[in-house]
Structure 1
Amino acid sequence: MTTDEQTILDLFDRASAEHQFPDLDHVYECLIDCRLHAFADATRWALVVEKVAYTPRGGAVRDIVHVFDNLGPDGAPRWWSEVGAFGRVENWDEIEDEWEPEMFTGSGPVRVRGRDLDVTQPAGADLVDVFRGLVPEHRDLLLCDKDELGRLVPGGLPRLLVLDDWHQPDLFRTVPSQCETYVQLARVLATGAVDAYRPTHAPNTHWSRWPGSGSH
């Protein structure tokens, strides 16, 4: 089953209306990093948007993944997410101060995927600054690897684009179908034409561009 561009844009807008579209300014999630993948062949397509975020209330760093595709049993466009599947920090009790929540103990590295990552911040630093400090040197450990992507998108579906930065809409002001990025990505997905993605707006996906992120 093929899908036209407008059908994909309508899907994005419906997901946004139900608060299921990637929101970089989420008040309970401190943005750390993000990445976007577009896959397509003659009949199938998938868009995977990753958002690595620190959730102070949940005591976790997770790669929150939103998937839009036509890969379901009936081939109809759909969206779904893996919100809790990709936890990253493995030694939380060692790095969060027992008496000062959300603060770094200063006692050791941050363990991600079994690797101990050195931290330059001192004891008492905000944990969000510790985690953001792992990027860009260790960003590939925080984002999906090949096996994790394989859980989201079947093997054999060509990956046409990987974006480490792009222009993301403020969902309180702009629906995805009115955002240049997603209009162009819908065309890439529907046609397989990679050159349809030709952005004119500056990227804004760095955490510093979203002051509301993790503000509650």
Structure 2
Amino acid sequence: MPNDKAVFSKNDILTQLDACAKDFNFPVLDNGYIYPVTSRLSVFGDLERWVIVVEVVGYHYRFSGHGGVENCLYIYGNSLGFEPGINNDNVLLVTADSDEGAVFVGDQWGTLNPDVHSMLIRDQKISIPKDPAFYAARNVELKNPPSIRVYEFMRASLPEYKTEFLAVEDEIYDCFRQNLPKIMQLDEWYHPDIAGEERPSENETFQMIAAVLESGDSSLYKPTKSANNHWSNWPYGGSL
């Protein structure tokens, strides 16, 4: 592919991303309604088609309980069967109550039931640590100790369960329904400040990704800026 020319250009890609960002249909990592937890970026393409998928895992407190524990897949491309960006079909919900009972107490903050010590992630029963020292050791500050909110648990449990919160490869392909080779996948990158009116076309990461897709040469991705997509870099997420 590096020796052939794609039918689309870097500018085509960045123009679509900018248009979506202008409509706030692009990942805003400090969304005031969502406590960010983790994210991932996947890039697919060939000489005729390109797809970029950005997963944003977090707790959306305007939804209740497990309905707020979501992985939103933002999908962009030049041959999609739907409008680029986010839609209801591309939101994954992977948690549920265990046999112990209701995980949540029923408030909008996603406070966990102090009497229930487990939950399901992808049907796997996992324990919920209740000791504040566990969270402190993982640099997660509890907002209202000793109460624990679900996004605090999610952040603290990333070393063990990040993979479970994110999509499996088949789920990603099911969203855009095209047999395209995966060119690259990033767990860390420098993300644009969409709320601060920065456009993807002004952002080093997406400029380089567009160049990779246009050329088919993944070696063109050579970031110079430090990754900022970690939840700790977006303190206004969930602040409304």
Question: 2:140 corresponds to which residue?
Answer: none
Q: Counterparts of 1:78 and 1:183 in 2: how far apart (Å)?
A: 22
Distance 2:207 2:173 in 1: 26
TM-score, normalisation: structure 2: 0.82
Structure 1 residue 149: deviation in Å?
1.1
Change (3 A) 1:181 1:101: closer
2:141 corresponds to 1:118: no
- Counterpart selection for 1:68 from 76, 79, 84: 76
Check 1:95–1:4 CA distance in 2 against 1; reply closer, same or farther (3 A cut): same
Matched, 1:19 2:43: no
1:161-211 deviation digits (Å, cap 9, x = unpaired) = 110010001111411100000100111122211011110000011100001
Which letter maps to 1:49? V
| Alignment partner, residue 201 of structure 1 | 225
Task: Tell me the residue number matched to 2:238.
Answer: 214
Instruction: Give TM-score, length-normalised by structure 1.
Output: 0.90
Q: For residue 142 of structure 2, what is the aligned residue in structure 1? A: none
Q: Distance in 2 between matches of 1:25 and 1:94?
A: 29
Distance 2:130 2:228 in 1: 26
How do residues 1-216 of structure 1 correspond to structure 2 at under 5 angstroms?
A: 2-59=7-64, 60-72=68-80, 79-83=84-88, 85-91=91-97, 94-98=102-106, 102-106=110-114, 107-122=116-131, 124-154=147-177, 156-171=179-194, 172-216=196-240
Query: Are the aligned partners of 2:109 and 2:149 in contact in 1 as well (CA < 8 Å)?
Result: no
Query: Residue type matched to 2:92 in 1?
Result: F
Structure 1 unaligned runs (5+)?
A: none
Q: Does structure 1 conserve the Cα–Cα contact (< 8 Å) formed by 2:35 and 2:238?
A: yes
Comparing 96-105 and 161-170, the one that deviates more: 96-105
Question: Displacement of 1:43 after TM fit?
Answer: 1.3
In structure 1, distance between residues paired with 2:203 and 2:37: 22
Aligned CA RMSD, in angstroms, stands at 2.2
Aligned equivalents of 1:183, 1:98: Cα separation in 2 = 43
Query: What is the number of residues matched between the two proteins?
Result: 213
The Cα of 1:66 is off from its aligned counterpart by 0.5
Between 1:120-129 and 1:162-171, the stretch displaced more is 120-129
Are the aligned partners of 1:39 and 1:161 in contact in 2 as well (CA < 8 Å)?
A: yes
User: Secondary structure in 2 aligned to 1:90?
Assistant: strand
